[in-house]
Structure formats: structure tokens, C-alpha cells
Structure 1
């Protein structure tokens, strides 16, 4: 065994300051530590204390965390060097000085200690002496064997969830007999006051009006909330990290739990912060390369295409369908005869004892009953705040019949879901050549920073719905150009898979705010408009969806149009093939107090997907004036 001895090692700094560290070293190993100044500039240290470049400080750094207890130095939030010195000193404080060891810096900052012990063995020695019971309990005695990035698809019922959501799940080794639903999950979100209105939320969220923090909870809470209540599909991306790398990320998660950040909806959001955690590991690049915004799906696409340690960063992709998706999968697997019987049973549960049902073969019975069980569970969850007594009684009767059948589930053939990681990029630009009867030939440039429309929804999006922010359209004539429209936001939410069964309606709604020309003949008659509709969708078959709306809008009075109007509209969406989609739209608007009392607007658009990055479209508009054209678009 090599002889160990105790010595004093002193690092001399360029500033003349020194710090003495007492520790045991191996006499046969030559140690050439870096200077403290070099360590304070090390990218890992910068990441551990969450420093961003900031030219207003002498150090040119400022931490994005503004909780004072995250720092060991008085000015640690803007001085990486002093924070490093103070952290090393804090790690040397005798453990005996603390009645509760959990308050020692080694227990509060385990990731910093893990990194610094590679340079200062005294820190490793002290770590081996201390028992951090709170940290050990939280990590289940370091039982995390892998980490998964969880992506939750978009939810148009809440502005905070329009673009989806990401969080991390710590996959334990199950030694303690815990299930995957009991694993620890790490979430990041804005700290929003109760009853905050949507407009305030959007404004404050975009411009940094909220604090935000990491939190932790058993994963089953998110699985239930997203998959069972909000009916959102969940995708799990299990990461290919070493045991040491996994422990390092888990240790840093402990350090930042509850610490306050400033929340920015478009950029420094859940996707950005989860990407930061993953980028603690040398060689991992997770945050999408975009200075304007960070979308959860973009983070997923980045890590899914990344490599680490000579392997794919993502080891395995697991799809967790929502309760609604499971129900739709089952009903789509039924034959026409089975669907008819299911409809009859829903109307009258006595059919369960009729030859119509009892004469079916075992597999058919199981498929019908299992679909009905999911149907009633789906309705009960969807209408949780209402009186569900009758639904629960019907559910109980169907469940009783299922117990009479043999154990086992029939195999259901379903289409493979496309992972959001395989979806297209979120931003879109196009150039159109248009012929306008009143204005002649025009060129239209469109820029849509985010996200999708009714014809180009991709993997991870809500099909046939639309979501866009800051969409800009500029038109060029032979001698001039003008702003045609600028949407602040536009959302169309459609339940396109509605079965038509009682309680499973195709509810649809639409909300839009922005500025636009009053009609297709004007070039300098911009109005601010707020428009909203509510309606129903009806699926005629797997390729055709009809939507009807009633609504209205407010705008500033200009060009003979009043400042308010009622709106009736109908939309038809046709999926001819996976690459070819058509949209027909008809609107009738009645103006309350304008010279122009009413108008009709007919619009047609067809889209053909040339590749994941390119598409081609044809356009037709009739609002009393005719405009038609073709365009080519690019996604990035």
C-alpha cells in the first residue's frame, strides 16, 4: 500500500492572495493543480453557479439565480473568483461545528464538492466523513441509475402550455421496490399568483415579470396531471449517461431546488433550464442554437440528434399515450359492427345481456368492453367538476361485465406515433407571387417565428389546430411595399378526433389579436383587431373534418367598417395524403355600427410538403376583391 502523509499545499494567486488546504496525498503522484483564477474561469464552474456574461460587472459575469443562499460569498452572484474561494473555505469548516450536518456546505452543494474534489483531495476526505441525511433521503441513497427527459405535448387550454413542456425524471434502480411513477421528477416553471389573468400572464411571461424556480415531486403527479387530466401525450427520452455523469446532474439538481430565477416565456423557460442541466456534462450540447426563443420540442430534437461518449445521447424513446389517446386508439381498432354495438350499449346498458353482445366471440367482447371502460374513465376525468353519478354507475356496470370475462387484453393494432424529435423545425418563412384584381401583381413575404398552422401541424402538435405568434406579412408592389398584417398571437384549438359519442364533442375555439389591412384592396388602412370564436367540429371520415364557428370581434373603426362585428364561419379540412392538405374557409361578418353592414370572405389554401424543410402552397381569397397566388416556404 502506498504511503500516505499529511502536508500543506498552498496555491499562490496572481493577486498575491493564498489559501491553505490541509489534506492527505499520495507521495508517488505528482500534483500540478491549476490556479484558483483558472478554476474560477472553468466552464464547469461557470455553469455550476449559473453565470451569464454581463458587461456591467467588473468580472463580466452575473448569476441568473438571485437567491442569496445559493452563494457562499457576499458578492458571489457577480464574482466567480470570490465565490470559488468562499466555497472551498466553506467545505473546510469542521463538521463538528454544525449540530445539523445538513447545513454544512458539503451537504448544500454536493455537485460543487464533486467537481472540486478532483483538484483538492481534502474536499474528498471531508465528503467521506460527513453524512448528509436529507440529501441521501432525497436521492434514495444515490439510487438513480439513469435520467430521462420528459416531453409533454402542447396544450391549447393554457397559454403556459401552448408549446409543450419538458422536465427531468430520475430513474431509480428499483432496489427499494418503488415503481417508475414514484421516481423523482424535476420541474421548472414560473411562480404565478393565484387567479392571474391570461393577458397579464402573457405580458409578464414575455418580459420577465415573474420569478421562477425548480421544484421536485414524485413523477406520478405529472403523469396524472398531464396524461389523465389535461389529456396530453407524454414522450420519454432515456439518456445515455455514465453513472458518474448521472450523479453529477442529480447533485446539482439538489443545489438549485427552490432557488429563484427570472422567468422568460420565450427564451429562458423550462426547455432552456433543462438544457442547462444537461450541459453540465462535458461534451453535451442540448440548448437549441437560437437567440430569440427556446421551444421544448426544439430541445427534444437537439438531444435526439446528439452524440456523447461515442454513442447516441438518447438511449431509448418511450411513448406514454394520454387517456384520451388510449381511448381513441381502442375505438379506432373496432370494426363497424363493434362500433355499432358499443353505441347501442352506451344508450342502453341492458344490451350487455342481449344476444347482440353475448353472441360475439371472446376477443370481440373484450375489445368492446375495454373500449367502454376507457370511454367512461375518459368522460369522468374530462367532466370531473360536474355531477358524474350516472357516468360512474354506467362505468361500474361495464366493469362488472368485464370481470365476467377471462383475464387478458386483445391485441390492438395501432399506427406508430411519430416522435416529436422527428418533427419539423418551428419557424417558417415563405415568399408568394400573388395576383390582386385591385392592386395588380404582388410579392408577399411571410415570417412566422412560431409555430404551426392548420395545414402543417407536425409530430408533437395538435393536428388541424394552429398556434402562431408574431406572424408578419409584408406585400411588395411594383413601386411600393406595405405591412399587410402582424399577428401578436393566433390560436385555433380543435378536437379533431371526436368520436361523436355522447360527451366526446368536437369543441373548437379561436382567438386572435393583431393588426391588419381592412381588406385586400387597401395598403394604408391598418386596424387593430381582437377576434374570437367558439364552435364544434365534425369528422365525416378519417380524411375530412368540418368546423363551424360563432363569434365576433372588436377593431378600431376605419374605411367604412364598424368597431365591432358578429361572425359566422365554416371551415373544411381535407387530408388527401400525408403530404397534401386542403383548407376551405367561409366567413360572414355583420358590422354593428359601420357604413359597410356586412361582408363575405371566402378563402382556399392548399399545401404540399416537398420535404421536412420545404413546402409549396396555392392561395385564393375573395373578400369582394379577388386575390390568388402560389408560394414556397422554408422551415428552420
Structure 2
């Protein structure tokens, strides 16, 4: 029961606003002041105003939104009580001829929530028809919501760790209708032609505005799945109609409103987590926000339950064009691959005995893969080559139609979802013995994100690595030394490349940080270093191993006459020995441009997974001196 300070019939209350008065009348004054204070301090009201959370998990008195139009009180961005009273006052105003600009329509989520708390509809002098809002929501056609996770994309630093979207599922969305569903996105507002370095720096320090936008799902499916070749994982939420309505209304309120964008924490993952946490019983916002990753939100969501039922109702994947090709190619046997290559190179035709003699089911599989190949090549190649590729695709398609009707043969091995992986951050403790000094030091290691060549998992690129802010310390005889700091360390490989024409095996690497020059002078020869390289990789069908070769250009501080610039040739061997054991061996020859002497650097790393969130590692290094290390790690 709502406590009313003064009970007035709705008609009499309407006249109150029409009478000339000496002092301004506040609609909020009809409600008990204690009730208003309680509502103003309610965490849900704070969420609707997008007040930032402190490290303790409590709400601060400051909204994340910088747009003045989001607040009805001059103090609304810092005073939730003042904003509550101003909101109630605005709801009771009469329509001035622009109904869609009335507060009942503009601040729809506030209206729905406050109506449930204060029974506004009983006392409002006028209930406004919000036609634009109704049209945007499809007149209650949105029946459920899905969180969509786009896997990482190494072509853009802001997308290294993946991206989150929120999909508004229409009634019975399937096929074409599914692609027409509205999808909500959060991202930085970046000027056109912004170069990479300013983009990264501004994203880290919060110099960009950001906001929510929406497009049809087709737009994102094409951009991520076709252009950037990223898998899209969809997690449909098992929440009630009232939660769906409230989240939709809040998204409506946030359209065009500006935030400050921070690449590491107040990013797409954090803001999407805020949105879906409006649903009753869902809490996926990480307790600490020094860095927030999309995969972490997906893992939190998959572990979230309401009344002992998982909040994820359904999970599905829209594989990228590249993933479809690679998974299908893995299903082909050696003979089928030879026929495939012959067809692509036009050394054999569909009338050749090699193809005609195949069983029908083998023809299905082969034709599906060759059509996937041409569609993949059409995306990758220029317009001048697309006509030829299109004609070859249509030829394969026509051959497929000559066979008896049958569904596409799906790969036997299904792609593992990102919710199944380990946690994103890593720390370890162990010992490092330097053979040159015969000293053993305690080694502490922390990697805020994300993965390396030994612990890649679900939603990561096999045999690749991506780390930022990785730090290693040595403690010996009461002395603490910095052993290594990687500001950014990326190794991009195409470990699933088919070897078919124009399916590149090329990869690249980038490392910016501080490291010990060699093991002999460690820990007293710390130097800043930048290196970048390019190379090629080869793997077997099961991706149990990867052989890579790189040419690397590097620059570092000149100490001990090593010079500033050097060129290196490096070979890597990455092995998956079992489901829980992986190893990486590397050999490098580095030559300084001002020094004829070459340096030879060797390393071997072995990892044994103890459980999904812990491991033990062995590291052997020879770089003038030699060292051996043993560490125990935990993911968090």
C-alpha cells in the first residue's frame, strides 16, 4: 500500500496545476518524504541513473552519463533525491502538444519502475501516448533478450578481447526475421581516420565519449562474421516479460546519451553488464573493475542462476565464414583434399573420374567445403577477382543441386563456447634458478589478461598469445627486482589455415615492454625494448602442433655495446601433448645492425593443467647465461 501524504482524487489534482499559485507546486510533495528518501537510495534507482559503483560495490553520488539531457534536475547527476523529485514532477505535467517529448515517454524505465512503487497511474492528471517508444519496441513484439559475444579480433586493439552486444528477439524470430532483430551496441565515438597510437592512448585514459547505438542484427552479423571473420555466440536470457520491458525502456532512455569510454574497464563489457543486471536476480558486473573483459561477463552470466535455474535459456553460434570453411575442411580425408585442391586449381573437373567415383555422401561434404571456400575468398579478395570466384561458386552450387536433396553435414566436433574457458587473469608463484650466478630467487608473476601460447582455450586463437600489463618480479636476498614487463605482447597466427590457394598462413607479432638483456647479467641489465615481426605457420589437421618462422625487427636501449637496432630470425614449435599438457620451444638468432656478432637464444616452456583454473609450469632459457624456473599458477 502506498503512503499518501494528501489524498486527492485525480480530477482535483489536475485542477491544482491549473490554478494560479504564489509558490510552485511539486507533485512529489503528495508522497511521504520518507518513502521518497527510501526510493532515492534504492540501488535500482541508482542503476537507472547510471550512478557509478565504488570499489566496495556501493553506488557513488556521481552518474557515468555526461549528457545534461539525461537529468531533469540541475543536480541530478550527483543528487538522486533531487532527480527523483524532478522526475515525479515532470510525469505530472500536462502534454504541451509534443507527447513523445513528455517525461513519461522520454524516461520510460523510470516511469515503469516508479509506477510500480508509487502507483502513479492512479494520480496522474494525464497518461501520455508514447507512439515513438511503442514503435521502437515493435508494440511489445520483443519477447526475449540475448547477449551476443563476438570473439576477439586482432585487427583492432579495442576488439582484442572480444565484444558484447544485446539482441532484442522478436516474437518467433527465425531466419530472415532473426537477422532483422534490433541489436544494441556500446562503443567509443572515434573521429574518422584516427590513427592507431592516439586511438589506443585516448582509449586507455578515457578521452573518448561513448554511447549506445542500435542496428539490425544483420549489420553486426555481416560486419563481425563476414568482414572480420569472428564467431558470434548468442546467449538467450531466461527472464520474465517485466524484466524485458524494463531493460528495453532503459535502453530507450540511454539513446544518444554520452559516457566516458575507458578501454580497460568502462567498456562494452561493463556497460552491457550494467544493462542486463537490471533483470531481477542477475548480477554479472565484476566486483572489481580495474579491467573488465567480455569473456568474463559471459562466464559470470553462464554461472548465474535464478531460483536454481540457469539464467541462460539457450546458447547458439553463428560461425564466421572462416570457421565454417576450416571446420568443414578438417572433416575431409586426404583423398578428398587432393580432389578439392584439383578442383580449385582446375586440374580436374566435376566430370573427372576422381569426382564422379565418390560416394554421394562424400560429394556432399566436398561440395559444401568448396562452396565455403569460394564464399570465404570472395570476402577476402578484391572486386576484380570476385566475378571469377562467384562463377566458380555458382558452378559448385549447381553441382550440389544435381545430387539428391540432403541437409548439410555438420562437423563432428563442435566449437567450444567462451563460457567454458578458464578465468581471464593469471598469477603465479615459484622459483627461478640462474645458473650463471648459482642463485635461486622467488618469482612472482601477474598477467591481468588474457592468454598465451600455452593456455589458449575456448574463444582464443590456438597457438597464439595476447597479453597486456604482464609483470614478473624476482625476490632474492631481501631485494626485489623487475624481471620483465610487457605493456603489450601479441602473437597472431592462422593455426587453422587450410593451405588452399590464397588462404594465408601468415602471422605477425608485436612486443612492447621492458626485459632483461640476457640471463648472464640478470637482474642488472633491464632494458626497454620494442619488436615486431612477420612470419608463416604450418600445422597438422588436428592442430596438435604448429611450426612457425618469423623475421623480427627490434629496438632497445644500447647497453654493453649490443646496439640499438637488431634483426632476428626465430623458429617456434608449439605442441599439444595431451588435453592437459602443452609445450613451446623457440630458437632465435639475433644480429645487431652495428655488431657483426650474433646472439643465440633458446627457450623451452612446458605447462601442465591441474584443473580449469590452475597449472604448473617449467621454463628453461639459454641466453648467454641459462636459467630454470618452476611456477604454480592460478586463474582468477
TM-score, normalised to structure 2, is 0.92
Cα drift, residue 78 of structure 1: 1.5
Give runs of aligned pairs for residues 238-277 of structure 1, distance below 5 A.
Answer: 238-277=236-275
Give the direction of change, closer, same or farther, for the CA distance of 1:127–1:153 in structure 2 (3 Å limit): farther
Give the direction of change, closer, same or farther, for the CA distance of 1:286–1:8 in structure 2 (3 Å limit): farther
Cα drift, residue 54 of structure 1: 8.4
Cα drift, residue 460 of structure 1: 1.5
Cα drift, residue 75 of structure 1: 2.3
Q: Which residue of 2 aligns with 1:574?
A: 575
Cα drift, residue 286 of structure 1: 1.1
Preserved contact between residue 234 and residue 316 of structure 2 (Cα < 8 Å): yes
Gaps of 5+ in 1: 11-15, 24-30
Give runs of aligned pairs for residues 149-188 of structure 1, distance below 5 A.
Answer: 149-174=147-172, 179-188=177-186
CA deviation digits over 1:199-242, x for unaligned, max 9? Answer: 21221111101100000010111111111111111111111110
Cα drift, residue 270 of structure 1: 0.6
Equivalent-residue separation in structure 2 for 1:176 and 1:503 (angstroms): 34
SS class of match (1:179): helix
Preserved contact between residue 91 and residue 123 of structure 1 (Cα < 8 Å): no
Equivalent-residue separation in structure 1 for 2:27 and 2:180 (angstroms): 45
Q: Which residue of 1 aligns with 2:4?
A: none
Cα drift, residue 109 of structure 1: 0.9
Preserved contact between residue 28 and residue 85 of structure 2 (Cα < 8 Å): no
Give runs of aligned pairs for residues 444-463 of structure 1, distance below 5 A.
Answer: 444-463=443-462
Q: Which residue of 2 aligns with 1:486?
A: 485
Q: Which residue of 1 aligns with 2:597?
A: 597
Give runs of aligned pairs for residues 318-397 of structure 1, distance below 5 A.
Answer: 318-348=316-346, 350-384=348-382, 387-397=385-395
SS class of match (1:351): coil
Would you say 1:544 and 2:545 are equivalent positions?
yes
Preserved contact between residue 27 and residue 92 of structure 2 (Cα < 8 Å): no
Q: Which residue of 2 aligns with 1:50?
A: 50
Cα drift, residue 494 of structure 1: 0.6
Q: Which residue of 2 aligns with 1:108?
A: 106
Equivalent-residue separation in structure 2 for 1:222 and 1:302 (angstroms): 24
Give runs of aligned pairs for residues 273-284 of structure 1, distance below 5 A.
Answer: 273-284=271-282
Equivalent-residue separation in structure 2 for 1:357 and 1:175 (angstroms): 40
Preserved contact between residue 602 and residue 621 of structure 1 (Cα < 8 Å): yes
CA deviation digits over 1:6-53, x for unaligned, max 9? Answer: 47789xxxxx99834799xxxxxxx98952222211111111111236
Equivalent-residue separation in structure 2 for 1:544 and 1:251 (angstroms): 50
- Which stretch shifts more, 543-552 or 489-498? 543-552
How many equivalent residue pairs? 615
Equivalent-residue separation in structure 1 for 2:106 and 2:140 (angstroms): 15
Would you say 1:62 and 2:62 are equivalent positions?
yes
Equivalent-residue separation in structure 1 for 2:364 and 2:157 (angstroms): 40
Equivalent-residue separation in structure 2 for 1:342 and 1:576 (angstroms): 30
Preserved contact between residue 233 and residue 325 of structure 1 (Cα < 8 Å): yes
SS class of match (2:116): coil
Equivalent-residue separation in structure 2 for 1:514 and 1:527 (angstroms): 9
Equivalent-residue separation in structure 2 for 1:200 and 1:245 (angstroms): 40
Give the direction of change, closer, same or farther, for the CA distance of 1:245–1:389 in structure 2 (3 Å limit): same
Equivalent-residue separation in structure 1 for 2:507 and 2:205 (angstroms): 30
Q: Which residue of 2 aligns with 1:506?
A: 505
SS class of match (2:349): helix
- Which stretch shifts more, 596-605 or 494-503? 596-605
Preserved contact between residue 9 and residue 20 of structure 1 (Cα < 8 Å): no
Would you say 1:194 and 2:192 are equivalent positions?
yes
Give the direction of change, closer, same or farther, for the CA distance of 1:384–1:147 in structure 2 (3 Å limit): farther
Cα drift, residue 281 of structure 1: 2.7
- Which stretch shifts more, 126-135 or 278-287? 126-135
Preserved contact between residue 540 and residue 546 of structure 1 (Cα < 8 Å): no
SS class of match (1:290): coil
Preserved contact between residue 54 and residue 62 of structure 1 (Cα < 8 Å): no
Cα drift, residue 414 of structure 1: 2.0
SS class of match (1:157): coil
Equivalent-residue separation in structure 2 for 1:455 and 1:559 (angstroms): 33
TM-score, normalised to structure 1, is 0.92
Preserved contact between residue 191 and residue 212 of structure 1 (Cα < 8 Å): yes
Equivalent-residue separation in structure 1 for 2:382 and 2:156 (angstroms): 18
CA deviation digits over 1:120-165, x for unaligned, max 9? Answer: 3344675984221211111111211111111111111210111111
Equivalent-residue separation in structure 1 for 2:414 and 2:587 (angstroms): 35
Q: Which residue of 1 aligns with 2:229?
A: 231
Give the direction of change, closer, same or farther, for the CA distance of 1:127–1:177 in structure 2 (3 Å limit): farther
Equivalent-residue separation in structure 2 for 1:185 and 1:46 (angstroms): 25
- Which stretch shifts more, 375-384 or 309-318? 309-318
RMSD: 2.5
CA deviation digits over 1:317-352, x for unaligned, max 9? Answer: 112211111111211112222111111111116521
Equivalent-residue separation in structure 1 for 2:191 and 2:479 (angstroms): 48
CA deviation digits over 1:379-415, x for unaligned, max 9? Answer: 1112256643332332232223223223323433421
Preserved contact between residue 227 and residue 233 of structure 1 (Cα < 8 Å): yes
Give runs of aligned pairs for residues 585-624 of structure 1, distance below 5 A.
Answer: 585-594=586-595, 597-624=597-624
Cα drift, residue 84 of structure 1: 1.1
Cα drift, residue 104 of structure 1: 0.9
Q: Which residue of 2 aligns with 1:207?
A: 205
CA deviation digits over 1:537-569, x for unaligned, max 9? Answer: 111442121111112111121122110011111
Give the direction of change, closer, same or farther, for the CA distance of 1:124–1:598 in structure 2 (3 Å limit): farther
Preserved contact between residue 156 and residue 493 of structure 1 (Cα < 8 Å): yes
Q: Which residue of 1 aligns with 2:77?
A: 77
Cα drift, residue 250 of structure 1: 0.5
Q: Which residue of 2 aligns with 1:420?
A: 418
Equivalent-residue separation in structure 2 for 1:473 and 1:232 (angstroms): 32
Would you say 1:515 and 2:514 are equivalent positions?
yes
Equivalent-residue separation in structure 2 for 1:54 and 1:269 (angstroms): 16
Equivalent-residue separation in structure 1 for 2:467 and 2:106 (angstroms): 42
SS class of match (2:87): helix
Q: Which residue of 1 aligns with 2:312?
A: 314
SS class of match (1:117): helix
Give the direction of change, closer, same or farther, for the CA distance of 1:249–1:567 in structure 2 (3 Å limit): same
Gaps of 5+ in 2: 1-7, 15-22
SS class of match (1:289): coil
Q: Which residue of 2 aligns with 1:38?
A: 38
Preserved contact between residue 10 and residue 122 of structure 2 (Cα < 8 Å): no
Equivalent-residue separation in structure 1 for 2:33 and 2:309 (angstroms): 31
